[in-house]
Amino acid sequence: MKRNIVVISLAMAMFLLSPMQTNGEKAYRPPKTDSTELRMQDMLMNFLNPYINDAVHDYYQHLLRESPLVYSYFVDVIESHRVNGFRGFILSLTLDVTPVVGPHIPVGEDRLTFEISAGPKVRLVKYTHVKTHELPPNWQDIIK
């Protein structure tokens, strides 16, 4: 009898303590170790962050009263390539970003393609709004 109670308690504890995901979305899992690739991506995001936030502001200014922000850890590099061939220094970079308001409440998902060249010059080539997230009731007042 005591053994059954221990087994049931252990099973319940494992179920309750296991990470839960909602809406079929993958939970964000930050990297556990540093790497050269991760440092390079972080440096690139530090450089591009003002351009990303400007593009996001331009898109959402007609939809929201508060401009969302994109934090570097809410950016995924989807594709990069050289526009003008091997060792050419005009690069195309496609990013998936998740703009947020307030305490990291996602307002949507967007795909941005930038062209980066010497100077440095950064030009937004394409902005695609992929998905809109519904805001919680206490944030509905920022919707225009």
**How far, in Å, CA of 102 to CA of 66, rounded?**
9
Residue the block writes with tokens 């079929």: 24
CB 130 within 8 A of CB 124: no
**How far, in Å, CA of 68 to CA of 64, rounded?**
8
Residue the block writes with tokens 């179920």: 15
Domain boundary assignment for the chain = 38-142
Q: What are the pLDDT tens digits along the chain (144 aa)?
A: 555 444 444 444 444 444 444 444 555 566 789 999 888 888 999 999 999 999 999 999 999 999 999 999 899 999 999 999 999 999 999 999 999 999 999 999 999 999 999 988 999 999 999 999 999 999 999 999
